[in-house]
Structure 1
Amino acid sequence: MKIIGFCNLKGGVGKTTLCQNLAAALSSMGYRVVAIDLDPQSNLSAGWGIEVQEGAPYVYDYLIGEASISDLVVRREGVDIVPSSLDLAVAELQLEREPGRDSLLRSALDNDEVREYDYIFCDSPPQLGLFTRNVLAAADEIMVPLESEFYSLAGVRLLDSTVKLFQKRLNRALFVGGVVLTRHNPKVIMNREVQREVFSYFGDSLYRRYIRQNISVVEASGAGMSVLSYDASCNGARDYRLLAKEFMERQRENGQKTT
Protein backbone atom coordinates (compact mmCIF):
# COMPACT_ATOMS: atom_id res chain seq x y z
CA MET A 1 0.00 0.00 0.00
CA LYS A 2 1.34 3.42 -0.99
CA ILE A 3 -0.21 6.79 -0.17
CA ILE A 4 0.29 9.35 -2.94
CA GLY A 5 -0.68 12.99 -2.44
CA PHE A 6 -1.47 15.25 -5.40
CA CYS A 7 -0.48 18.78 -4.44
CA ASN A 8 0.21 22.19 -5.86
CA LEU A 9 -0.39 25.46 -4.04
CA LYS A 10 -1.41 27.06 -7.34
CA GLY A 11 -4.77 26.23 -8.84
CA GLY A 12 -5.57 25.47 -12.45
CA VAL A 13 -2.49 23.36 -13.16
CA GLY A 14 -4.24 20.04 -13.80
CA LYS A 15 -3.82 18.55 -10.32
CA THR A 16 -7.21 16.85 -10.10
CA THR A 17 -7.04 15.80 -13.75
CA LEU A 18 -3.68 14.16 -13.08
CA CYS A 19 -5.06 12.34 -10.04
CA GLN A 20 -8.13 11.08 -11.90
CA ASN A 21 -6.47 9.94 -15.11
CA LEU A 22 -3.43 8.38 -13.49
CA ALA A 23 -5.76 6.43 -11.18
CA ALA A 24 -7.79 5.25 -14.17
CA ALA A 25 -4.64 4.29 -16.09
CA LEU A 26 -3.29 2.26 -13.16
CA SER A 27 -6.66 0.57 -12.71
CA SER A 28 -6.60 -0.45 -16.38
CA MET A 29 -3.18 -2.04 -15.69
CA GLY A 30 -4.69 -4.17 -12.92
CA TYR A 31 -3.72 -2.14 -9.85
CA ARG A 32 -6.18 -1.50 -7.02
CA VAL A 33 -6.60 2.22 -6.48
CA VAL A 34 -8.76 4.31 -4.17
CA ALA A 35 -8.95 8.06 -4.83
CA ILE A 36 -9.88 10.28 -1.88
CA ASP A 37 -11.33 13.70 -2.71
CA LEU A 38 -10.15 16.13 0.00
CA ASP A 39 -11.02 19.33 -1.86
CA PRO A 40 -14.24 21.18 -0.91
CA GLN A 41 -14.58 22.11 -4.59
CA SER A 42 -15.18 18.38 -5.21
CA ASN A 43 -13.67 18.45 -8.69
CA LEU A 44 -12.39 14.89 -8.45
CA SER A 45 -15.87 13.65 -7.54
CA ALA A 46 -17.50 15.74 -10.28
CA GLY A 47 -14.91 14.53 -12.77
CA TRP A 48 -16.36 11.07 -12.30
CA GLY A 49 -19.96 12.28 -12.30
CA ILE A 50 -20.40 11.79 -8.55
CA GLU A 51 -22.57 14.14 -6.52
CA VAL A 52 -23.07 13.70 -2.77
CA GLN A 53 -26.71 14.09 -1.85
CA GLU A 54 -27.64 16.39 1.02
CA GLY A 55 -27.22 14.60 4.34
CA ALA A 56 -25.36 11.66 2.80
CA PRO A 57 -21.98 10.65 4.30
CA TYR A 58 -18.85 11.81 2.51
CA VAL A 59 -15.10 12.16 3.11
CA TYR A 60 -15.60 14.27 6.26
CA ASP A 61 -17.32 11.34 7.96
CA TYR A 62 -14.32 9.18 7.13
CA LEU A 63 -11.87 11.70 8.57
CA ILE A 64 -13.69 11.92 11.90
CA GLY A 65 -14.13 8.15 12.18
CA GLU A 66 -17.88 7.97 11.66
CA ALA A 67 -17.73 6.06 8.37
CA SER A 68 -15.37 3.55 6.78
CA ILE A 69 -14.07 3.67 3.23
CA SER A 70 -16.37 0.79 2.30
CA ASP A 71 -19.33 2.89 3.49
CA LEU A 72 -18.42 5.72 1.13
CA VAL A 73 -16.73 4.43 -2.01
CA VAL A 74 -18.30 4.85 -5.43
CA ARG A 75 -16.63 2.78 -8.14
CA ARG A 76 -15.85 4.28 -11.51
CA GLU A 77 -13.65 2.67 -14.17
CA GLY A 78 -12.30 0.22 -11.61
CA VAL A 79 -11.27 3.01 -9.22
CA ASP A 80 -12.86 3.42 -5.78
CA ILE A 81 -13.65 7.08 -5.12
CA VAL A 82 -14.29 8.59 -1.68
CA PRO A 83 -16.34 11.66 -2.64
CA SER A 84 -16.27 15.18 -1.30
CA SER A 85 -18.86 17.92 -0.98
CA LEU A 86 -19.01 21.70 -0.67
CA ASP A 87 -19.97 21.05 2.96
CA LEU A 88 -16.30 20.22 3.51
CA ALA A 89 -15.54 23.96 3.45
CA VAL A 90 -17.70 24.47 6.54
CA ALA A 91 -16.29 21.34 8.16
CA GLU A 92 -12.78 22.76 7.70
CA LEU A 93 -13.64 25.74 9.91
CA GLN A 94 -14.90 23.40 12.61
CA LEU A 95 -11.92 21.06 12.42
CA GLU A 96 -9.37 23.88 12.63
CA ARG A 97 -10.17 24.12 16.36
CA GLU A 98 -9.67 20.40 17.00
CA PRO A 99 -6.48 18.94 18.50
CA GLY A 100 -4.55 16.69 16.10
CA ARG A 101 -6.35 18.29 13.17
CA ASP A 102 -3.40 17.86 10.77
CA SER A 103 -3.24 14.10 11.40
CA LEU A 104 -6.87 13.16 10.81
CA LEU A 105 -6.19 11.52 7.45
CA ARG A 106 -3.13 9.67 8.70
CA SER A 107 -5.14 8.26 11.62
CA ALA A 108 -8.05 7.31 9.37
CA LEU A 109 -5.74 5.43 6.99
CA ASP A 110 -4.14 3.48 9.81
CA ASN A 111 -6.43 0.48 9.50
CA ASP A 112 -6.50 -2.88 7.78
CA GLU A 113 -9.34 -1.96 5.43
CA VAL A 114 -7.16 0.21 3.17
CA ARG A 115 -4.42 -2.38 2.91
CA GLU A 116 -6.35 -4.12 0.13
CA TYR A 117 -5.35 -1.26 -2.17
CA ASP A 118 -2.08 -0.93 -4.01
CA TYR A 119 -2.35 2.86 -4.11
CA ILE A 120 -4.25 5.48 -2.16
CA PHE A 121 -4.50 8.71 -4.15
CA CYS A 122 -5.31 11.86 -2.17
CA ASP A 123 -6.40 14.95 -4.08
CA SER A 124 -5.75 18.12 -2.08
CA PRO A 125 -7.03 21.71 -2.41
CA PRO A 126 -4.83 24.30 -4.18
CA GLN A 127 -3.81 26.08 -0.99
CA LEU A 128 -2.05 25.25 2.26
CA GLY A 129 -5.18 24.75 4.31
CA LEU A 130 -6.22 21.99 6.70
CA PHE A 131 -6.79 19.29 4.09
CA THR A 132 -3.57 19.92 2.20
CA ARG A 133 -1.72 19.70 5.51
CA ASN A 134 -3.48 16.40 6.18
CA VAL A 135 -2.31 15.04 2.83
CA LEU A 136 1.27 16.12 3.51
CA ALA A 137 1.16 14.52 6.96
CA ALA A 138 -0.20 11.20 5.64
CA ALA A 139 1.44 10.72 2.23
CA ASP A 140 4.47 8.58 1.47
CA GLU A 141 5.19 10.85 -1.47
CA ILE A 142 3.57 13.61 -3.46
CA MET A 143 3.00 14.12 -7.17
CA VAL A 144 3.22 17.72 -8.32
CA PRO A 145 1.55 18.79 -11.57
CA LEU A 146 3.12 21.87 -13.12
CA GLU A 147 1.75 23.81 -16.04
CA SER A 148 4.52 24.81 -18.42
CA GLU A 149 4.48 28.53 -17.67
CA PHE A 150 6.75 30.59 -15.46
CA TYR A 151 4.14 31.70 -12.92
CA SER A 152 3.80 28.05 -11.89
CA LEU A 153 7.42 27.83 -10.72
CA ALA A 154 6.97 30.07 -7.66
CA GLY A 155 4.15 27.91 -6.34
CA VAL A 156 6.16 24.71 -6.80
CA ARG A 157 9.17 26.15 -4.97
CA LEU A 158 6.87 27.15 -2.09
CA LEU A 159 5.41 23.64 -2.02
CA ASP A 160 8.91 22.14 -1.98
CA SER A 161 9.79 24.30 1.06
CA THR A 162 6.55 23.21 2.73
CA VAL A 163 7.37 19.54 2.11
CA LYS A 164 10.74 20.01 3.77
CA LEU A 165 9.03 21.61 6.77
CA PHE A 166 6.66 18.64 7.09
CA GLN A 167 9.60 16.26 6.81
CA LYS A 168 11.07 17.85 9.90
CA ARG A 169 7.89 18.06 11.97
CA LEU A 170 5.22 15.57 10.99
CA ASN A 171 6.27 13.16 8.27
CA ARG A 172 9.95 12.31 7.94
CA ALA A 173 9.35 9.85 5.11
CA LEU A 174 7.62 12.39 2.85
CA PHE A 175 9.30 13.33 -0.41
CA VAL A 176 8.46 14.76 -3.82
CA GLY A 177 8.03 11.61 -5.85
CA GLY A 178 7.54 13.36 -9.15
CA VAL A 179 6.85 16.61 -10.97
CA VAL A 180 4.68 16.24 -14.08
CA LEU A 181 4.43 18.90 -16.77
CA THR A 182 0.85 19.47 -17.89
CA ARG A 183 -0.48 21.30 -20.96
CA HIS A 184 3.04 21.04 -22.26
CA ASN A 185 4.09 21.72 -25.83
CA PRO A 186 7.79 21.06 -26.49
CA LYS A 187 7.56 23.13 -29.69
CA VAL A 188 6.91 26.30 -27.65
CA ILE A 189 10.11 28.02 -26.53
CA MET A 190 8.68 29.12 -23.18
CA ASN A 191 7.54 25.57 -22.42
CA ARG A 192 11.03 24.23 -23.11
CA GLU A 193 12.58 26.93 -20.91
CA VAL A 194 10.23 26.04 -18.07
CA GLN A 195 11.12 22.36 -18.52
CA ARG A 196 14.83 23.18 -18.24
CA GLU A 197 14.24 25.36 -15.17
CA VAL A 198 12.20 22.65 -13.44
CA PHE A 199 14.84 20.04 -14.20
CA SER A 200 17.59 22.28 -12.81
CA TYR A 201 15.61 22.61 -9.56
CA PHE A 202 14.12 19.12 -9.15
CA GLY A 203 16.50 17.00 -11.20
CA ASP A 204 15.31 13.44 -11.80
CA SER A 205 12.10 14.11 -9.89
CA LEU A 206 10.83 15.64 -13.14
CA TYR A 207 9.01 12.95 -15.12
CA ARG A 208 10.26 12.27 -18.62
CA ARG A 209 6.69 11.88 -19.79
CA TYR A 210 4.45 14.95 -19.91
CA ILE A 211 0.80 15.69 -20.65
CA ARG A 212 0.14 17.61 -23.82
CA GLN A 213 -2.59 20.21 -24.26
CA ASN A 214 -5.56 18.16 -25.40
CA ILE A 215 -9.22 19.18 -25.60
CA SER A 216 -10.38 15.61 -24.95
CA VAL A 217 -8.90 15.77 -21.43
CA VAL A 218 -11.11 18.77 -20.65
CA GLU A 219 -14.17 17.29 -22.31
CA ALA A 220 -13.76 13.99 -20.45
CA SER A 221 -14.07 15.63 -17.03
CA GLY A 222 -17.22 17.41 -18.16
CA ALA A 223 -18.60 14.07 -19.30
CA GLY A 224 -17.88 12.49 -15.90
CA MET A 225 -15.14 10.09 -16.94
CA SER A 226 -11.41 9.81 -17.46
CA VAL A 227 -9.93 10.65 -20.84
CA LEU A 228 -9.01 6.97 -21.21
CA SER A 229 -12.70 6.08 -21.31
CA TYR A 230 -13.77 9.21 -23.18
CA ASP A 231 -11.39 8.85 -26.11
CA ALA A 232 -8.86 6.05 -25.74
CA SER A 233 -7.02 6.97 -28.96
CA CYS A 234 -6.49 10.68 -28.30
CA ASN A 235 -3.15 12.24 -27.36
CA GLY A 236 -4.28 12.81 -23.77
CA ALA A 237 -5.11 9.14 -23.25
CA ARG A 238 -1.81 8.06 -24.78
CA ASP A 239 0.08 10.51 -22.57
CA TYR A 240 -1.54 9.19 -19.41
CA ARG A 241 -0.89 5.58 -20.32
CA LEU A 242 2.80 6.38 -20.85
CA LEU A 243 2.88 8.38 -17.64
CA ALA A 244 1.39 5.44 -15.74
CA LYS A 245 4.14 3.16 -17.07
CA GLU A 246 6.82 5.62 -15.92
CA PHE A 247 5.05 5.95 -12.57
CA MET A 248 5.29 2.20 -12.04
CA GLU A 249 8.94 2.14 -13.15
CA ARG A 250 9.69 4.78 -10.51
CA GLN A 251 7.73 2.90 -7.87
CA ARG A 252 9.79 -0.21 -8.52
CA GLU A 253 13.02 1.80 -8.40
CA ASN A 254 12.03 3.48 -5.13
CA GLY A 255 11.11 0.11 -3.66
CA GLN A 256 14.53 -1.28 -4.52
CA LYS A 257 16.25 1.73 -2.95
CA THR A 258 14.41 1.27 0.33
CA THR A 259 14.91 -2.49 0.65
Structure 2
Amino acid sequence: MKIIGFCNLKGGVGKTTMCQNLASALASLGRRIAVLDLDPQSNLTSGWGITVEEGEPYVYDFLVGESSLSDLAIKREGVDVIPSSLDLAVAELQLEREPGRDSLLRSSLENVPKDEYDYIFCDSPPQLGLFTRNVLAAADEIMVPLESEFYSLAGVRLLDSTVKLFQKRLNKGLEVGGVVLTRHNPKVVINRDVQREVFAYYGDVLYRRFVRQNISIVEASGAGMSVLSYDRNCNGARDYRLLAEEFEERQESHGEKKTQSA
Protein backbone atom coordinates (compact mmCIF):
# COMPACT_ATOMS: atom_id res chain seq x y z
CA MET A 1 0.00 0.00 0.00
CA LYS A 2 1.41 3.34 -1.05
CA ILE A 3 0.22 6.73 0.21
CA ILE A 4 0.20 9.44 -2.45
CA GLY A 5 -0.42 13.09 -1.63
CA PHE A 6 -1.71 15.54 -4.24
CA CYS A 7 -0.20 18.90 -3.36
CA ASN A 8 0.41 22.34 -4.74
CA LEU A 9 0.48 25.50 -2.65
CA LYS A 10 -1.07 27.41 -5.56
CA GLY A 11 -4.77 26.91 -6.16
CA GLY A 12 -6.52 26.40 -9.48
CA VAL A 13 -3.93 24.08 -11.03
CA GLY A 14 -6.16 21.01 -11.37
CA LYS A 15 -4.99 19.22 -8.23
CA THR A 16 -8.37 17.84 -7.13
CA THR A 17 -9.33 17.07 -10.72
CA MET A 18 -6.15 15.04 -11.17
CA CYS A 19 -6.65 13.19 -7.90
CA GLN A 20 -10.16 12.15 -8.95
CA ASN A 21 -9.48 11.24 -12.56
CA LEU A 22 -6.19 9.44 -11.97
CA ALA A 23 -7.85 7.40 -9.22
CA SER A 24 -10.70 6.48 -11.55
CA ALA A 25 -8.29 5.56 -14.37
CA LEU A 26 -6.26 3.33 -12.05
CA ALA A 27 -9.40 1.69 -10.67
CA SER A 28 -10.38 0.82 -14.25
CA LEU A 29 -7.05 -1.04 -14.46
CA GLY A 30 -8.04 -3.11 -11.43
CA ARG A 31 -6.15 -1.19 -8.77
CA ARG A 32 -7.66 -0.94 -5.28
CA ILE A 33 -7.78 2.74 -4.36
CA ALA A 34 -9.10 4.89 -1.54
CA VAL A 35 -9.24 8.67 -1.92
CA LEU A 36 -9.31 10.96 1.12
CA ASP A 37 -10.74 14.45 0.69
CA LEU A 38 -8.79 16.56 3.19
CA ASP A 39 -9.88 19.93 1.84
CA PRO A 40 -12.70 21.73 3.69
CA GLN A 41 -13.90 23.04 0.31
CA SER A 42 -14.91 19.42 -0.40
CA ASN A 43 -14.48 19.74 -4.15
CA LEU A 44 -13.34 16.14 -4.50
CA THR A 45 -16.42 14.99 -2.58
CA SER A 46 -18.85 17.02 -4.68
CA GLY A 47 -16.94 16.08 -7.83
CA TRP A 48 -18.15 12.55 -7.26
CA GLY A 49 -21.69 13.68 -6.55
CA ILE A 50 -21.44 13.06 -2.80
CA THR A 51 -23.00 15.25 -0.12
CA VAL A 52 -22.28 14.83 3.58
CA GLU A 53 -25.38 15.67 5.57
CA GLU A 54 -25.17 17.32 9.00
CA GLY A 55 -24.25 14.77 11.64
CA GLU A 56 -22.95 12.18 9.17
CA PRO A 57 -19.38 10.89 9.66
CA TYR A 58 -16.69 12.11 7.27
CA VAL A 59 -12.90 12.24 6.96
CA TYR A 60 -12.50 14.04 10.31
CA ASP A 61 -13.78 10.93 12.08
CA PHE A 62 -10.97 8.92 10.49
CA LEU A 63 -8.34 11.48 11.48
CA VAL A 64 -9.33 11.36 15.16
CA GLY A 65 -9.63 7.57 15.22
CA GLU A 66 -13.40 7.35 15.61
CA SER A 67 -14.09 5.64 12.26
CA SER A 68 -12.18 3.32 9.94
CA LEU A 69 -11.83 3.82 6.20
CA SER A 70 -14.32 1.02 5.59
CA ASP A 71 -16.83 2.78 7.86
CA LEU A 72 -16.63 5.96 5.79
CA ALA A 73 -15.96 4.71 2.26
CA ILE A 74 -18.50 5.55 -0.44
CA LYS A 75 -17.89 3.60 -3.64
CA ARG A 76 -17.65 5.62 -6.84
CA GLU A 77 -16.34 4.17 -10.11
CA GLY A 78 -14.47 1.45 -8.22
CA VAL A 79 -12.85 3.98 -5.87
CA ASP A 80 -13.45 4.18 -2.10
CA VAL A 81 -14.12 7.89 -1.51
CA ILE A 82 -13.66 9.21 2.03
CA PRO A 83 -15.72 12.41 1.91
CA SER A 84 -15.14 15.84 3.40
CA SER A 85 -17.44 18.56 4.65
CA LEU A 86 -17.32 22.29 5.27
CA ASP A 87 -17.31 21.34 8.96
CA LEU A 88 -13.68 20.38 8.42
CA ALA A 89 -12.78 24.09 8.47
CA VAL A 90 -14.08 24.39 12.03
CA ALA A 91 -12.43 21.11 12.99
CA GLU A 92 -9.10 22.48 11.74
CA LEU A 93 -9.24 25.30 14.29
CA GLN A 94 -9.89 22.78 17.06
CA LEU A 95 -7.19 20.36 15.96
CA GLU A 96 -4.53 23.08 15.72
CA ARG A 97 -4.46 23.11 19.53
CA GLU A 98 -3.93 19.35 19.81
CA PRO A 99 -0.50 17.76 20.48
CA GLY A 100 0.78 15.73 17.54
CA ARG A 101 -1.63 17.56 15.25
CA ASP A 102 0.60 17.19 12.18
CA SER A 103 0.74 13.40 12.55
CA LEU A 104 -2.97 12.60 12.88
CA LEU A 105 -3.28 11.24 9.35
CA ARG A 106 -0.11 9.17 9.58
CA SER A 107 -1.24 7.60 12.87
CA SER A 108 -4.67 6.76 11.46
CA LEU A 109 -3.25 5.28 8.26
CA GLU A 110 -0.98 3.00 10.29
CA ASN A 111 -4.14 1.17 11.38
CA VAL A 112 -5.19 0.40 7.80
CA PRO A 113 -4.18 -3.17 6.78
CA LYS A 114 -1.34 -2.94 4.26
CA ASP A 115 -3.05 -5.32 1.85
CA GLU A 116 -6.40 -3.47 1.82
CA TYR A 117 -5.43 -1.02 -0.94
CA ASP A 118 -2.78 -0.62 -3.60
CA TYR A 119 -2.86 3.17 -3.27
CA ILE A 120 -4.35 5.73 -0.92
CA PHE A 121 -4.67 9.15 -2.53
CA CYS A 122 -4.86 12.21 -0.27
CA ASP A 123 -6.16 15.47 -1.72
CA SER A 124 -4.84 18.46 0.22
CA PRO A 125 -5.88 22.14 0.39
CA PRO A 126 -3.90 24.70 -1.67
CA GLN A 127 -2.14 26.21 1.34
CA LEU A 128 0.23 25.02 4.05
CA GLY A 129 -2.39 24.55 6.75
CA LEU A 130 -2.99 21.66 9.12
CA PHE A 131 -4.32 19.20 6.55
CA THR A 132 -1.60 19.83 3.98
CA ARG A 133 0.98 19.34 6.72
CA ASN A 134 -0.71 16.07 7.65
CA VAL A 135 -0.50 14.88 4.05
CA LEU A 136 3.19 15.78 3.82
CA ALA A 137 3.87 13.98 7.11
CA ALA A 138 2.03 10.81 6.03
CA ALA A 139 2.73 10.42 2.29
CA ASP A 140 5.32 8.18 0.71
CA GLU A 141 5.38 10.58 -2.22
CA ILE A 142 3.50 13.52 -3.62
CA MET A 143 2.12 14.25 -7.05
CA VAL A 144 2.35 17.89 -8.10
CA PRO A 145 -0.09 19.11 -10.76
CA LEU A 146 1.28 22.24 -12.42
CA GLU A 147 -0.56 24.51 -14.80
CA SER A 148 1.58 25.48 -17.77
CA GLU A 149 2.03 29.14 -16.90
CA PHE A 150 4.90 30.95 -15.20
CA TYR A 151 3.05 31.99 -12.05
CA SER A 152 2.81 28.28 -11.21
CA LEU A 153 6.59 27.89 -11.01
CA ALA A 154 6.87 30.02 -7.84
CA GLY A 155 4.36 27.76 -6.09
CA VAL A 156 6.28 24.63 -7.07
CA ARG A 157 9.56 26.01 -5.75
CA LEU A 158 7.88 26.92 -2.47
CA LEU A 159 6.41 23.42 -2.25
CA ASP A 160 9.83 21.92 -3.00
CA SER A 161 11.44 23.79 -0.09
CA THR A 162 8.55 22.71 2.14
CA VAL A 163 9.05 19.07 1.16
CA LYS A 164 12.75 19.32 2.06
CA LEU A 165 11.80 20.72 5.47
CA PHE A 166 9.43 17.80 6.11
CA GLN A 167 12.09 15.34 4.98
CA LYS A 168 14.36 16.68 7.70
CA ARG A 169 11.84 16.84 10.52
CA LEU A 170 8.73 14.70 10.08
CA ASN A 171 8.96 12.36 7.10
CA LYS A 172 12.41 11.26 5.95
CA GLY A 173 10.98 9.00 3.25
CA LEU A 174 8.91 11.70 1.55
CA GLU A 175 9.60 12.12 -2.17
CA VAL A 176 8.27 14.20 -5.02
CA GLY A 177 7.03 11.30 -7.12
CA GLY A 178 5.94 13.30 -10.12
CA VAL A 179 5.15 16.70 -11.57
CA VAL A 180 2.36 16.71 -14.16
CA LEU A 181 1.53 19.58 -16.49
CA THR A 182 -2.16 20.46 -16.66
CA ARG A 183 -4.10 22.56 -19.16
CA HIS A 184 -1.03 22.09 -21.33
CA ASN A 185 -0.84 22.81 -25.03
CA PRO A 186 2.56 22.00 -26.57
CA LYS A 187 1.70 24.26 -29.54
CA VAL A 188 1.68 27.34 -27.27
CA VAL A 189 5.10 28.95 -26.82
CA ILE A 190 4.68 29.86 -23.14
CA ASN A 191 3.53 26.31 -22.35
CA ARG A 192 6.66 24.90 -23.98
CA ASP A 193 8.81 27.41 -22.08
CA VAL A 194 7.27 26.34 -18.76
CA GLN A 195 7.80 22.70 -19.68
CA ARG A 196 11.52 23.38 -20.29
CA GLU A 197 11.83 25.29 -17.00
CA VAL A 198 10.19 22.51 -15.02
CA PHE A 199 12.34 19.85 -16.68
CA ALA A 200 15.47 21.89 -15.94
CA TYR A 201 14.44 22.05 -12.28
CA TYR A 202 13.03 18.53 -11.74
CA GLY A 203 14.46 16.44 -14.57
CA ASP A 204 12.79 13.05 -15.02
CA VAL A 205 10.42 13.73 -12.13
CA LEU A 206 8.39 15.62 -14.75
CA TYR A 207 5.95 13.20 -16.35
CA ARG A 208 6.16 12.67 -20.10
CA ARG A 209 2.37 12.65 -20.27
CA PHE A 210 0.36 15.80 -19.66
CA VAL A 211 -3.30 16.81 -19.43
CA ARG A 212 -4.71 19.08 -22.10
CA GLN A 213 -7.31 21.78 -21.60
CA ASN A 214 -10.62 20.02 -22.15
CA ILE A 215 -14.14 21.24 -21.40
CA SER A 216 -15.34 17.71 -20.70
CA ILE A 217 -13.13 17.59 -17.60
CA VAL A 218 -14.92 20.62 -16.17
CA GLU A 219 -18.35 19.33 -17.18
CA ALA A 220 -17.64 15.92 -15.61
CA SER A 221 -17.03 17.40 -12.16
CA GLY A 222 -20.27 19.33 -12.40
CA ALA A 223 -22.04 16.11 -13.30
CA GLY A 224 -20.57 14.33 -10.26
CA MET A 225 -18.30 11.88 -12.07
CA SER A 226 -14.83 11.49 -13.54
CA VAL A 227 -14.16 12.49 -17.13
CA LEU A 228 -13.62 8.81 -17.95
CA SER A 229 -17.24 8.08 -17.07
CA TYR A 230 -18.58 11.31 -18.53
CA ASP A 231 -17.02 10.97 -21.99
CA ARG A 232 -14.54 8.12 -22.34
CA ASN A 233 -13.53 9.19 -25.87
CA CYS A 234 -12.71 12.85 -25.16
CA ASN A 235 -9.16 14.19 -24.97
CA GLY A 236 -9.34 14.50 -21.18
CA ALA A 237 -10.23 10.84 -20.73
CA ARG A 238 -7.47 9.77 -23.13
CA ASP A 239 -4.94 11.93 -21.28
CA TYR A 240 -5.82 10.42 -17.91
CA ARG A 241 -5.65 6.86 -19.21
CA LEU A 242 -2.17 7.56 -20.56
CA LEU A 243 -1.21 9.29 -17.32
CA ALA A 244 -2.37 6.23 -15.35
CA GLU A 245 -0.19 3.99 -17.52
CA GLU A 246 2.87 6.15 -16.90
CA PHE A 247 2.04 6.30 -13.18
CA GLU A 248 2.01 2.50 -13.04
CA GLU A 249 5.27 2.26 -15.00
CA ARG A 250 6.97 4.64 -12.59
CA GLN A 251 5.63 2.83 -9.51
CA GLU A 252 6.90 -0.47 -10.85
CA SER A 253 10.30 0.99 -11.76
CA HIS A 254 10.59 2.67 -8.36
CA GLY A 255 9.76 -0.59 -6.61
CA GLU A 256 12.43 -2.44 -8.57
CA LYS A 257 15.06 0.19 -7.70
CA LYS A 258 14.18 -0.09 -3.99
CA THR A 259 14.46 -3.88 -4.13
CA GLN A 260 17.87 -3.67 -5.79
CA SER A 261 19.17 -1.18 -3.22
CA ALA A 262 17.87 -3.19 -0.24
Q: Compute the TM-score of the two structures, normalised by the length of structure 1.
A: 0.99
> 1 CA distance for matches of 2:216 and 2:112?
38
Structure 1 residue 257: deviation in Å? 1.0
Are 2:210 and 1:210 aligned?
yes
Structure 1 residue 115: deviation in Å? 3.3
> 1 CA distance for matches of 2:223 and 2:173?
37
SS of the residue 1:160 aligns to: helix
Aligned to 2:253: 253
> 2 CA distance for matches of 1:123 and 1:136?
11
State the Cα deviation string for residues 231-257 of structure 1 (Å, max 9, x = none): 000000000000000000000111011
Structure 1 residue 112: deviation in Å? 3.9
Aligned to 2:190: 190
State the Cα deviation string for residues 105-146 of structure 1 (Å, max 9, x = none): 000000244631000000000000000000000000000000
> 1 CA distance for matches of 2:197 and 2:255?
28
Gapped runs of 5+ residues in structure 1?
Answer: none
> 1 CA distance for matches of 2:204 and 2:19?
20
Structure 1 residue 196: deviation in Å? 0.2
1:84 aligned partner, one-letter code: S
Aligned to 2:151: 151
Aligned to 1:223: 223
Aligned to 2:100: 100
Aligned to 2:180: 180
Gapped runs of 5+ residues in structure 2?
Answer: none
SS of the residue 2:3 aligns to: strand
> 1 CA distance for matches of 2:90 and 2:113?
28
> 1 CA distance for matches of 2:135 and 2:69?
16
> 2 CA distance for matches of 1:113 and 1:157?
35
> 1 CA distance for matches of 2:222 and 2:99?
38
Aligned to 1:20: 20
Aligned to 1:110: 110
Structure 1 residue 214: deviation in Å? 0.2
Structure 1 residue 88: deviation in Å? 0.2
1:175 aligned partner, one-letter code: E
Structure 1 residue 90: deviation in Å? 0.3
> 1 CA distance for matches of 2:57 and 2:216?
32
Aligned to 1:47: 47
> 2 CA distance for matches of 1:83 and 1:21?
16
SS of the residue 1:115 aligns to: coil
Q: After the TM superposition, which residues 128-167 of structure 1 pair with which residues of structure 2 at under 5 Å, given as runs?
A: 128-167=128-167
SS of the residue 2:115 aligns to: helix
CA RMSD of aligned residues (A): 0.6
Structure 1 residue 60: deviation in Å? 0.4
> 2 CA distance for matches of 1:71 and 1:87?
19
Aligned to 2:81: 81
> 1 CA distance for matches of 2:200 and 2:253?
21
State the Cα deviation string for residues 44-90 of structure 1 (Å, max 9, x = none): 00000001000101000110011111111100000000000000000
> 1 CA distance for matches of 2:76 and 2:44?
12
Aligned to 2:6: 6
Aligned to 2:68: 68
Would you identify which runs of 4 or more consecutive aligned residues in structure 1 move more than 6 Å? none
State the Cα deviation string for residues 152-184 of structure 1 (Å, max 9, x = none): 000000000000000000000001000000000
Could you say if the C-alpha distance between residues 114 and 224 of structure 1 is closer, same or farther in structure 2, counting changes exceeding 3 Å? farther
> 2 CA distance for matches of 1:22 and 1:14?
12
